[in-house]
Chains A and B, each alone.
Chain A
Amino acid sequence: MLSSSSLDDEFMAVRATGVDRAFGGVQALRGASFAARPGEIHALAGENGAGKSTLIKVLCGVISADSGTVEIFGQTVRRVVEPGARRRLGVATAFQELSLIPDLTVAENLLLHEPPRNRLGLVRRSQLAATADTILRRYGVDYIDSFAITADLSVAHRQVVELVRVLATEPRVLILDEPTAALPDRQVEWLSTHMRRLRSQGSCVVFTSHRWREIEAFADRVTVFRNGTHVTTRDRISESEAVTLMSGRTFEGAYPDVTTIGRGDSALRVSDLRGGRLAGVSFDLRRGEILGVGGLAGQGQRDLFLTIFGARRPSGGQLSVAGEPVVVRRPRDAINAGIGISYVPEDRKAEGLFLPLSIRDNIALATLSRRSRFGFVDRGQERQAVATIVGRLRIGAGRSPAQAVGNLSGGNQQKVLMARWLLTDAHVLLLYDVTRGVDAATKHDIFELIAELAAQGKAILFYSSETEEIANLCHRVLVLREGRISVELDGPVRDAERIVAASLKEMPDA
């Protein structure tokens, strides 16, 4: 509750009072209140599942509240289905689960509602791309091809298009759910200038982020949510206090100590791997080792992970697992190779989860054949295995594993995906940006788990868009540059700046 009575009377750009909302038995919001002023950038912070995304959907009218009221500039709104009506209110929202249509081009997505039309009212397809290009140029992102099919863009570029789509409406209330999770630093900078510009025009910007330094850098005020309710709203909150407020727990040390973990024999040897952006990568990953892959964005990190896992065809090079050469043509080969390879991706919507299925089914999926006898699944054993991992990762805050994954928050979905691959008992784990869009407390759980897995003798290849995580969690760091390893750093590096510096220097010839 907002305690101060002056706040209750003040004219607000956005105000939600006593909002309840449940999804299939899961109470996402309970009596939630929120208020943001015109001309301010307001951060909304909370753990995964705290109700941030639900609140945002209620604020912009995509879903209705079970009870409670929402006001935009003093005007009460209910569920607003019509985009025109939403735009007349001046509200524009970029959603966490991107709301771009995958099969349409960038231009069609940007102009879905107001395409350029001729006198007969028909869409002028020749003008479509030109108009879209004008918009993209106006917002300084002309590096995006308006002819491209949206599904073919990288996650970062799709996010940029999503942001341009909402910015282009020049809204009075701009709501951004996790806008920076998929963005490289340069685009985060780009976004912040537009947020500040809108603020200076008297608009209200509400955003969520799991990166506290962004909240400190951008936000005028911060509201913390926990378990679907408002905890506090203040001008400043320190990161450590915020973590405590959001989780209700206290932590000592953000990263586990990996120096004590002993390293064993070779688990995965990669020799001269080529294909996609890879121009010959060789390294040796040992048991018990957490090997970081760093470098600027787009230097072949994603190709490296996908190629090892067999999701992308290499044009050359060899792999050997536990000393034995293996040929990996498809993910199934990697899963079955020697001591087993698992890949945990970052894009949970596209690469892995079955939203209508239960938490249990989603986790157990990759190990079905191992727990089946004559084609029937041993449900009892499955239940037990899932219960252990669900508890270990604190998935879904004590919810039943029979809940549909679609009802969980984004971060909890990420945990389900991790749990699935951890259950496979694979000894080589490829963790690709698994902490993207995950809150601090959950990150802490995931790091502890990674260290524990390494201590059990598993070999871990780790990439994160947060260089700081690579710097603190990894025994060694490979810095990729133009598809090759330009530098290898012994870790823990601790100082992320060293990795960034290493990514920039050592220019090979060019």
Chain B
Amino acid sequence: MRDAMGWLRRLLDGPASLGYAVLVATTVVYFAVYTSNLGHLPTSFDFLSILNTTLPLVFVAIGQSLVVITGGIDLSVGGIVACCVAITATTVDGTGVMPFAWLLLVLVLGTLAGAVNGIIIARARVAPILATLATLSIFSGIALWVLPVPGGYISPSVRMVLTNPTIPTGLIWLGLAVVGWLVLRRTRFGMRVYAVGSDEASAIAVGVPAARVKVGVYALSGLCSALAGIFYVSTTTAGDANAGAPFILTSIASVVVGGVSFAGGRGSALGAMAGAVALTLVIDVIFFAGIDPLYQSLFQGLFLVIAVLLGTGAALVARARRGTL
């Protein structure tokens, strides 16, 4: 019992608490807007559709928060997602084992693309924002070359496993993502990620291989983007080389809402995951409130600003109470 209370307290005091609070608030608003407009509570079909549309962003947000915890930023997620969407939509169309082999290849390619970012940033010491802006262009270009016009197809057998439209297989993948993060947090690599983000010079001084940690983090972000690309194709059943672009801002927004510090060293991907789900819900709220989809980005932006202001406000109050410099 005391353990359960401690667990709850850690959840509420933890770095991800902003993400959880925002997710709860958005869910309440979603229920209110939905029932007042449609006259009944959301159905299991609605939950399934939210789950399946939110998965790609959840994955990108995990990768992005890892990068941000090291004090960096990954703009190339848009390019890697686009590439992986294009490759998946043009290759994973058969039956039998082949589609899954192709999926594996897509994941490897995504990881390699991320590792390229990491090598440019850690070894050639290019600022993350510059390096990933450049590779964003490159990866987006490759995506267009693979799939010049929207189209493609995905094997139904793959779709049944990833984002089954009738049973919530997505929950399994979401659960695996959470477990994956918790495991990573408990590896030595996970500790080093925080060390590098908190104070890189000190980390190097005590012998943390900072360059290797960074390469690893960007590679993982690439892997997450590849997963996002696969799930994107699986949900929409087709590919589009421009599919990646929205993920750049929304993944960064998820990380911000999730309470991950842009100074590095603080935060949790769990918060960013909550932020990603909240951001998807906001789009549904806008839809059910009957607001013109043209204004979607306006409202998403407002949501982001308000969420962050609430978060910094809470932090300021806490700091004033502690009375530190």
Contacts and interface: CB of A to CB of B under 8 A. Distances in A.
Interface of A: 62, 81-84, 86, 95, 97-104, 108, 112-113, 115, 117, 121-125, 165, 275-276, 306, 311-313, 351
B97 interface: no
Interface in B198-212: 198-199, 201-209
A123 B266 contact: no
B325 A311 contact: yes
A257 to B, nearest CB: 36
B59 interface: no
Contacts of A124: 186
Contacts of A276: 323
B207 A83 contact: yes
A123 B325 contact: no
A117 B186 CA distance: 9
A104 B325 contact: no
A123 B323 contact: no
Chain A to chain B: the 4 pairs with minimum beta-carbon distance, closest first: A83-B207, A103-B198, A103-B265, A99-B205
A123 B194 contact: no
B191 to A, nearest CB: 6
A82 B320 CA distance: 41
A122 B181 CA distance: 12
A112 B206 CA distance: 9
B320 A123 contact: no
B190 interface: yes
Given A122-B187, A311-B325, A102 B206 contact: no
30 contacts: A82-B209, A83-B207, A86-B207, A97-B201, A99-B205, A99-B206, A100-B202, A100-B206, A101-B194, A101-B198, A101-B203, A102-B198, A103-B199, A103-B266, A104-B191, A104-B198, A108-B194, A112-B192, A113-B206, A113-B207, A115-B188, A115-B191, A117-B188, A123-B191, A125-B186, A165-B206, A276-B323, A311-B325, A312-B323, A313-B320
B198 A123 contact: no
B325 A306 contact: yes
Contacts of A117: 188
Contacts of B192: 112
Given A81-B207, A83-B207, A99-B205, A112 B195 contact: yes
A100 B194 CA distance: 12
Contacts of B206: 83, 99-101, 112-113, 165
Interface string B199-242: 10111111111000000000000000000000000000000000
Contacts of B325: 306, 311-312, 351
B320 A101 contact: no
Contacts of B320: 313
A365 to B, nearest CB: 17
A85 to B, nearest CB: 9
Contact of B207 (A82, A121, A123, A312): A82
- Interface of chain A, main secondary structure: loop
Contacts of B172: none
A125 B186 CA distance: 7
A121 B183 CA distance: 10
A98 to B, nearest CB: 7
- Interface of chain B, main secondary structure: helix
A124 B320 CA distance: 34
B191 A98 contact: no
Nearest to B321: A313
A98 B187 contact: no
Nearest to A345: B325
Nearest to A151: B198
B205 A95 contact: yes
Given A102-B265, A112-B195, 6 more contacts: A101-B194, A103-B194, A122-B183, A125-B186, A276-B323, A312-B324
A332 to B, nearest CB: 13
Nearest to A61: B207
A487 to B, nearest CB: 28
Contacts of B209: 81-82
A387 B77 CA distance: 49
Contacts of A97: 201-202
Name which of A108, A112, A125 has the most chain B CB atoms within 10 A of its CB.
A112
Contacts of B194: 101, 103-104, 108
A103 B261 CA distance: 11
A112 B183 CA distance: 17
Contact of A122 (B186, B198, B205, B208): B186
Nearest to A276: B323
Given A86-B207, A102-B265, A108 B191 contact: yes
Interface in B32-79: none
Given A112-B208, A276-B323, A101 B183 contact: no
Contacts of A275: 323
A101 B199 contact: yes
Contacts of B207: 81-84, 86, 113
Contact of B195 (A104, A123, A306): A104
A103 B207 CA distance: 17
Name which of B194, B199, B206 has the most chain A CB atoms within 10 A of its CB.
B206
A76 to B, nearest CB: 20
Interface in B307-325: 320, 323-325
A165 B208 CA distance: 14
Contacts of A82: 207, 209
Contacts of B201: 97
Contacts of A100: 202, 206
A100 B199 CA distance: 8
Nearest to A350: B325
Interface string B165-183: 0000000000000000001
B182 to A, nearest CB: 9
A95 B199 CA distance: 14
Name which of B187, B188, B190, B204 has the most chain A CB atoms within 10 A of its CB.
B188
A446 B83 CA distance: 62
A123 B265 contact: no
Nearest to B267: A103
Nearest to B264: A103
B15 to A, nearest CB: 10
Nearest to B265: A103
B186 A313 contact: no
A433 to B, nearest CB: 15
A363 B198 CA distance: 27
Name which of B204, B208, B323 has the most chain A CB atoms within 10 A of its CB.
B323
A311 B323 CA distance: 8
Contacts of B202: 97-102
A311 B205 CA distance: 31
Contacts of B265: 101-103
Contacts of A99: 202, 205-206
A123 B199 contact: no
Name which of B186, B197, B266 has the most chain A CB atoms within 10 A of its CB.
B186
Given A102-B198, A351-B325, A123 B203 contact: no
